[in-house]
Amino acid sequence: MFKHTIVRRPAATLMHGLTSVDLGRPDYLTAQVQHQCYIDALLSCDVDVTVLPPREDFPDSCFVEDVALCTPHCAVITRPGADSRRGEAELIGTTLQRFYSSLESITAPGTLEAGDVMMVGTHFYIGLSARTNEEGARQLIQILQRHGMSGSMVKMAEMLHLKTGLSYLEHNHLLITGEFLHLDEFKSFNRIEVPAEEAYAANSIWVNDSVIMPAGHPYTAEQVRKLGYRLIEVDTREFQKLDGGVSCLSLRF
């Protein structure tokens, strides 16, 4: 069960965030409303929510998931692969110190964004993406092993982050789409294959037997309901314009 979550409110500079999609620029006011609804969804899952203030100097800083990996035994401050996001990692340390006695970090030349890391019990799958390199993954695996956990690397070719196309919903249930459908390491899960037209919903989060999912993906929503989860649908379309999904907007531990 998760007890804590951390979010950072979007900055007015959000429209200058990194993007690879052509969905237009996010509207700041709408993004603020959607972000508050996201916080309300987390609060309904029996977790506390630490709400950090916006940082105008970092347009992507509301995507707080990428700058730290929060495990049951330690937190790891990452070293984002995107230059414009590297400084975001330094901002999260003081907040994490409130919750963790053990803080680790990824160092140069390693890069790692925790959107590329999927926790399945004590094992962590680490996507090798344009943002996470082998050195970053190797450092993370060493850190995990020191704390009694394990990690393995997953080669990636297309998606921004590992969890763009994969979400572990506990109890062996896995949302999976796109380039991950054919990989051997994900064959033994109970897979919910997300069709291409709903691919954005493959990035959803399990929070204490609720699942928070982006609204507007009826097939995937129905499959998740059939698993017996309480489903909460949230509108994150302003964040989608910057390649951001449901998982990117929080740390959960």
Q: Which residues are catalytic?
A: 161, 248
Tokens of 46: 């029996």
Q: Is the peptide bond before 109 cis (omega within 30 degrees of 0)?
A: yes
Decide whether 34 or 164 has the Cβ nearer to ligand CIR: 164
Residue type, 115: G
Question: Does 11 interact with ligand CIR (rule: CB under 6 A)?
Answer: no
Q: Which residues contact 40 (CB under 8 A, 6 or more apart)?
A: none
CA 17 to chain centre: 17
How far apart are CB 114 and ligand CIR at their closest, in Å? 7
CA–CA distance, 6 with 165 (Å, rounded to integer):
22
How far apart are CB 235 and ligand CIR at their closest, in Å? 17
Question: Does 166 interact with ligand CIR (rule: CB under 6 A)?
Answer: no
Decide whether 18 or 231 has the Cβ nearer to ligand CIR: 18
Taking the CB of residue 174, how many other CB atoms lie within 10 A of it? 20
Question: Does 85 interact with ligand CIR (rule: CB under 6 A)?
Answer: yes
Among 60, 88, 198, 233, binds ligand CIR (CB under 6 A): 60
By the criterion CB under 6 A, which residues form the site for ligand CIR?
17-19, 60, 63, 65-66, 82, 85, 115, 160-161, 164, 242-245, 247-248
